[in-house]
Structure 1
Amino acid sequence: MANDELVSRSLPVQEDMAMQQRVWRFERVGWYLLVVIVLLGLAGLFGNGPLSNAQTTSADGRLHVEYQRLSRSGTTDNLRITVRGSARKPIMLELDGSLLSKASIETIQPEPQASLSQGKAILLELGTSDDGVATLYLTLRSEYVGTLEGVVRAGPSSAVHFSTFLFP
């Protein structure tokens, strides 16, 4: 009986069961692809998830940056910069790269003690805690599509380079 259903018939309508089976197979592959795309999206392929969260540390271990490796154009992204210095002494932090020219800084916490412009870069003076650590939280938004590069420096020997890809 099951094999009778796989035979092409001409009444009441013309059937091509071989073609119908190819269509069903194509349909199943499409469903599997949709499930994979949804799972990748949940995992952070398009922003805010384990696949997009990234962090990098300078060679001397003094500077640590947490950022979004993958994001979407028009959304806000958090950038967390932690730098180690001397207790209760200010630290100069330099932010540079296409990330600053193509993205706008919406919030910056805590407010720097001083901020200066140096060419295309921004210099921020941060106060440190009793243990000599300063943490800066930035919220960035960009309407750009493509790769943005960022550079954070805390002196000549402490530099971190990172990049973010923005989907449309």
Structure 2
Amino acid sequence: MQQRVWRFERVGWYVLVAIVLLALAGLFGNGPLSDAEVVSPNGRVRVEYQRLSRSGTTDSLFITVQGIPGQPVEVQLEGSLLRDASIETLQPEPQQSMSHGQAMLFQLGTKQDGVATLYLTLRNEHVGTLEGSVRAGPESAVHFSTFLYP
């Protein structure tokens, strides 16, 4: 009987250590398991985001778009992400921004190499899955989702 108790205790310790290691690796947000990147088929749009997060925290969304040097590029952001999360910061400030139905349109300036970047900080007050998509023209779209723990 005593050996069964010890075995059960040992298994419990292994499970506890596994949970701690997974948490440190980002299973519950902010870590290698949580960090994600999605790239459009033509490579023009890239989005870096958190795959796993917690409700009530702020997360970053980093959008990179390849455009024509010196010419502005138009980026469309849409999905439940806009309804269930609030945008706290937007850097650099877009040349123009407007709502377009259920989406937001941003006009971004490009650098010398034609790359435009947009960094958003989002506060999530939702539990469950948030969906989003970023589009820079008909051929350049990416879709992503974030799962929010309570």
TM-score normalised by the shorter chain: which range applies?
over 0.9
Determine if the alignment matches structure 1 residue 62 to structure 2 residue 47: no
Question: What's the Cα RMSD here?
Answer: 0.8
Whole-Å separation in 1 of the counterparts to 2:23 and 2:8: 23
Whole-Å separation in 2 of the counterparts to 1:107 and 1:45: 25
Task: Tell me: higher relative CO, structure 1 or 2? Use CA pairs within 8 A at least 6 residues apart.
Answer: 2
Whole-Å separation in 2 of the counterparts to 1:32 and 1:74: 31
Give 5+ residue unaligned stretches, structure 1. Answer: 1-17
State the 1:22 CA deviation. 2.1
TM-score for the superposition, normalised by structure 2: 0.97
**Matching residue of 2:12:** 30
Q: Quick check: which one's strand share is greater?
A: 2
Whole-Å separation in 1 of the counterparts to 2:91 and 2:28: 26
**Matching residue of 2:140:** 158
SS for the counterpart of 1:64 is strand
Indicate which of 85, 90, 93 corresponds to 1:108. 90
TM-score for the superposition, normalised by structure 1: 0.87
Give 5+ residue unaligned stretches, structure 2. Answer: none
Cα deviation digits, residues 48-94 of structure 1 (max 9, x gap): 11101000100111001100011111111111000011111111100
Determine if the alignment matches structure 1 residue 148 to structure 2 residue 121: no
Structure 1 residue ranges (4+ consecutive) displaced by more than 4 angstroms after TM superposition: none
**Matching residue of 1:99:** 81
Q: Which has the larger radius of gyration?
A: 1
